[in-house]
Amino acid sequence: MKLYDSIIHETMAAAGNAKRFPAASLAPWPATESSELIMQRQAAFELGGSGNPSANYTLVTTDPALAGDEVLLCGPDLPNIRADMPFARIVILETEEISEDDAGHDMIRQMEFVRYHVFPKGYMVRVSSTSFEEQVRVSRDAVKQGISFARVGKTYIELYKKVPGVKSVKILFLTDRALVERLKPNAKKADDITKTLSHILDGLPTDCGHCQLKAVCDEVEGMREMHLGKKK
Ligand code: SF4
C-alpha cells in the first residue's frame, strides 16, 4: 500500500537531521495500564500546550525501504527541556498489505487503538482526534528518573508491534518549532486517508459521481484504484 508514501517522503525529508536511535539498542520506559493524572504542580513542563504548536499523525506503508524500528528526534530531548515546548509525534508503520476483508479492517482499528492507549509513566498524554494535536505533561519525578524520547519511543514501538501485521515501527518526536509548524498540515491529510480507507473497507459503493470522498481520491495516488479494484 502506497497511500501515505508521499507524506512519509515529505516527513522524512523534513526530519533529515534527526538524531536516530535504533530500537534494538533501547530499553522501554515503564508504562502504566491506564492514563496517569499528573497535576500541574507535579509537572516539569508541557509539550504541545500553552499556545505552542502541536501535531500527531500516523502513516502506514508496505515499502520496507521506508521502514525500520527506530526512534528519531528533532529538537531538545526531555532531560534538556526547561520550559513548555512545541511538540509532534509522528508514527510510521510498516505493515503487511492491508487486505480488503475483516482482517484489514481489524488491523486499522488496532493501530488506531494503540495510538491513544500508550501510557508511559510520568508522561501524561492528551490526544485530540479532532484537532490532530497531542499534548504531553511530563512529571518532575520522571525527569529526575531519566525519562527520554528514545525510551518513550521504544515503549510505543513494543505496543505497536503486538498488532498482527505490523512489521516495523518508526517513531518521530519533534520539539523543533519550525518543523512542527511545517509538518502540522500532514496530520489532517493522513487522517483523511485513514477515514477514506476505512469507508472503502466498510463497503462504500463505487459511485464517484456522488461520493463525498472524491477530493481525497483526487489527491491521494492509488486510493481510487484501490476502491475500484476492490469492486472487481
Ligand atoms: S474511488 Fe474514491 S471517489 Fe470514487 S467512490 Fe471510491 S472513495 Fe469515492
**Smallest CA separation from ligand 1 atom 3, residue:** 214
Best CA proximity match to 204, nearest among 223, 221, 227: 227
Domains and their CATH numbers in the chain: 5-182 (3.30.1650.10)
What letter represents residue 158's amino acid? E
Question: Distance from the CA of 167 to the center of ligand 1, in angstroms?
Answer: 29
Question: Distance from the CA of 55 to the center of ligand 1, in angstroms?
Answer: 28
Work out which ligand 1 atom sits closest to the CA atom of 199: 7
How many whole angstroms separate alpha carbon 190 and alpha carbon 195? 9
Radius of gyration of the chain (CA): 18
Evaluate: CB of 206 within 6 angstroms of ligand 1.
Answer: yes
What cell does 33 get? 495500564
How many whole angstroms separate alpha carbon 168 and alpha carbon 95? 7
Q: Kindly report the CA angle at 51 between 49 and 57, in degrees rounded to 5?
A: 55
Evaluate: CB of 227 within 6 angstroms of ligand 1.
Answer: yes
Provide the pairing of β-strand 43-47 with 166-174.
unpaired
Evaluate: CB of 89 within 6 angstroms of ligand 1.
Answer: no
Evaluate: CB of 211 within 6 angstroms of ligand 1.
Answer: yes
pLDDT digit of tens for each residue in the chain (232 aa)?
Answer: 889 999 999 999 999 999 999 999 999 999 999 989 999 999 999 999 989 999 999 999 999 999 899 999 999 999 999 999 999 999 999 999 877 666 777 888 888 888 889 999 999 999 877 789 999 999 999 999 999 999 999 999 999 999 999 999 999 999 999 999 999 999 999 999 998 988 888 888 889 988 989 999 998 988 998 888 765 5
Evaluate: CB of 224 within 6 angstroms of ligand 1.
Answer: yes
Please tell me the chain's helix, strand, coil percentages from 3-state DSSP, rounded to the nearest 5: 40, 25, 35
